[in-house]
Structures are given as C-alpha cells and as structure tokens.
Amino acid sequence: MRKVTYPHLGTFSLAFEGLLAGLGLDVVPPPPITKKTIDLGVLHAPEFACFPLKICLGNFIEALEAGADTIVMAGGTGPCRFGFYGVVQREILLDLGYNFEMLVLEPPQGQIKPVLDKAKALCGKCSIGQALRALHTFWRKTKALDCLHAQSLVVRAREARQGTTSKAYAQGLSLLKAARTPGEVQKSLREALALLAEVPQDHKKDILKIGLVGEVYMLLEPYANLQVEEILGEMGVEVKRAVYLSDWIKEHVFLSSLYLPGGRSVKKAAAPYLEHFVGGHGRESLGETVRFAREGFDGVIHILPFTCTPEIVAQSILPEVSRREGIPYLSIPLDEQSGEAGFITRLEAFVDLLHQRRRRKDKSIS
Ligand code: SF4
C-alpha cells in the first residue's frame, strides 16, 4: 500500500490527514515544522525560491525519511511561481536520490476529469461511497477548524491570563483531529467552542482590531508567520485573518470546477487600486485592506514572503490604499533569515501607534 504524505499548512493538515486516512490510505504525516525542516528546505532549494517552497521541501524530505513513498501536492496556475512548485520540488527530491511518486492536484478550471483521474490513481480500491463519506467529513472538519480558529482570535485578545486561550484552543484541535464522521466533527466543535468559552476574560481591556492580509501560505502556517496571531492576541489585539482554507477551497476547487469566478466582493473592493489578477493573493490583499478599513478596523498587517511577486505588487499599492481609505498598515516580509525579536518589536511599535491614534480620535470626538 502507498505511504502518502503532504506538506503542512496550519490546521488544514489535520483535516487533510483525516481525508487521506478516510480514503483508506496509509498516511505518513510530515513531522511538525522545526528549524531542521527549514534548514533542509533552504539547503536544497534554489536561493531565490519562495519561502513556502523551501518549507514544503523540508516537509517532504522529513516525510520521505520517515517512510513515505507518495507525495500529494497542490498545483496552481500563473502568473506567480506556485504552479512550478511541484515540478521543482520533484526534480530536487529525485536529484537527492529519493524514490517516490508525486501527485500534483491542479485547480480544475472547469475540467474536473483530470482531477478525478489523479484522485483515482491515489485511492486505488476505495469505493465511491467511502470517498464521498471521507470528503464530506473532510469538508466539515475544514470548516470546523476555521470556525474554532476565528473564535480563538476573539477570545485570546480578551483573556485574563496569558496562554489560557492557546491551551484551550490546542485541546479543541485535538478533539477535532480525533473526529471521524461529520456528526463527530459537529460534536467536537461544540465541545471545543465550549472550552474557549470557559477561558476567563477581562472585559475592561481596550481591544484593538487588526486585519491580517497577505500571501496565503504565510497567513495559514503559524511557523512561517512567526505566530503573529498569537503574539498580537496576547497584546490585546483581536485579529481577523483575511483568508481561511475553507474559503480558498470553495473558490479554487468548487467554483473553479464549474468555471465560476469567486471572491467578487473583494475584487470589487480592490478595483479602484488594482483591476487585474497579478497572481497569488496580491489583488485580494488590497481588496481585504479596503474592506477592513470600511469595517472600522484599527489597522492592517500585511505578511509576505521575500521575493513574492504578487505581494510585492500589493505592497507597492498599499500606501495609496492606506492614505485614501484612512487605515494604517504594516507590511512585513519574512523568510528563513527573519528573527523573532525584531519581528515582535515591530509589532509592538505598530500596536502602540494604533493605540495613540485611537486615543487621538476619541479626544477629537469628545
Ligand atoms: S504567491 Fe508568492 S510566495 Fe506564493 S508561490 Fe506565488 S510568488 Fe511564491
């Protein structure tokens, strides 16, 4: 039987591991991302490759060393480099002497047959009924993980004792990871939300609201973004992440299968500043910044990997968006060289600035 692995992508890995197991496959999850993972990716990837490519490459090397023989990877379409990830990683791993098969799942773009063919090649003897049940549970679990995550961001900003939300959230994730059916997912989600609701809160805190925009991998993978949500939450900031994987799947898999466009409202919000698709989430970063400004958020943090073309385009337009929409922003490029201490200092300075701005605003109103 195949021993299947995949790259880490925040909590999505929990749902994807469950999907592969539900399809009757022998799953070899990549070990949790550590400095060793990054070092392996950096050592073997081209120097100017995107940071996410390097991390995923490190995941694959560690998983192949742990016994995996099949890699499942997402594909993409231009104009950014994501579409080449799978091909480049496969060549690097072959050069390193690994013996494996790689299945790259491309977005359907109206053609569902190639996706189904690849799924069939992966699943082998799995019945249609079993595949549908596994997919149903996977979808419910992905949505439940996103729901729990969004709620943890609200609770963490108000926690009375630092770390209590993160502890309750980790327990909630374990409950959801163990769920095997859609019914169990719903039950685990209720229990996990109840754990968050029990976290003691301080309702007198002056809570800032910050929107998080940027490249999708960097937003979803806490190791890559240096735990930005947790750090801000523990500073008393309610963070709202612009992208969740359930939204991404809806747009890039479900709607794309029917050749339907997704994300109309965010594209409309971005249109006065950028009308064209520039790859990745560049246009969405601008559109989401506009929406956060109009929803009364105090600021926006833009996270991007160094050398990420779509987000560099967004970064160059953000000053204009910030000026016209009246929202402060902080743009932070990250890669393997980024240090935590400097990162936290920049976040603290930005949060201070937003508090001052709010006090000035309050004074001018009273
Ligand atoms: S969006 Fe940026 S980081 Fe992601 S693949 Fe494209 S260029 Fe690389």
Residue 201 phi/psi, 5-degree rounding, is: -120, 150
Please tell me the residue having the least CA distance from ligand 1 atom 7. Answer: 308
Judged on CB neighbours under 10 Å (0-12, 13-18, 19+), 295 is exposed
Buried b / exposed e across 96-121, counting CB within 10 Å, b at 16+? eebebeebbbbbbeeeeeebeebbee
Whether residue 214 has its Cβ less than 6 Å from ligand 1:
no
Q: Element (H or E) spanning 5, and its range? A: strand 3-5
Judged on CB neighbours under 10 Å (0-12, 13-18, 19+), 275 is exposed
Whether residue 287 has its Cβ less than 6 Å from ligand 1:
no
CA of 309 to the centre of ligand 1 (A): 7
CA of 120 to the centre of ligand 1 (A): 29
CA of 165 to the centre of ligand 1 (A): 31
CA of 184 to the centre of ligand 1 (A): 36
d(CA 125, CA 131): 10
d(CA 300, CA 289): 7
**Confidence class for position 155, pLDDT limits 50, 70, 90:** very high
What is the DSSP secondary-structure string of 346-359? HHHHHHHHHHHHHH
Whether residue 196 has its Cβ less than 6 Å from ligand 1:
no
Pocket probe mutation, ligand 1, options 57, 215, 303, max atoms within 8 Å of Cβ: 215
d(CA 310, CA 329): 17
- Window from 83-87, 93-97, 296-300 with minimum mean pLDDT: 83-87
Whether residue 218 has its Cβ less than 6 Å from ligand 1:
no
Is 196 in contact with 172 (CB distance < 8 Å)?
A: yes
Query: Could you read off the pLDDT of 157-216 as tens digits, one per residue?
Result: 999 999 999 999 999 999 999 999 999 999 999 999 999 999 999 999 999 999 999 999
Query: Could you read off the pLDDT of 90-133 as tens digits, one per residue?
Result: 999 999 999 999 998 877 666 677 777 777 777 777 888 998 99
In terms of CATH architecture, what is 207-366? 3-Layer(aba) Sandwich (3.40)
Please tell me the residue having the least CA distance from ligand 1 atom 2. Answer: 308
How distant, in Å, are the alpha carbons of 266, 270, 323 from that of 360? 30, 29, 18
- Contacts for 179 with CB less than 8 Å, ≥ 6 apart: 18, 137, 141, 144, 185, 187, 188
Whether residue 280 has its Cβ less than 6 Å from ligand 1:
yes
From the alpha carbon of 305, which atom of ligand 1 is closest?
Answer: 3
Is 330 in contact with 344 (CB distance < 8 Å)?
A: no
Is 155 in contact with 199 (CB distance < 8 Å)?
A: yes
Whether residue 309 has its Cβ less than 6 Å from ligand 1:
yes
DSSP at 254:
I
pTM for the full model? 0.93
Please tell me the residue having the least CA distance from ligand 1 atom 5. Answer: 82
Q: Which tokens belong to 295? A: 């929803």
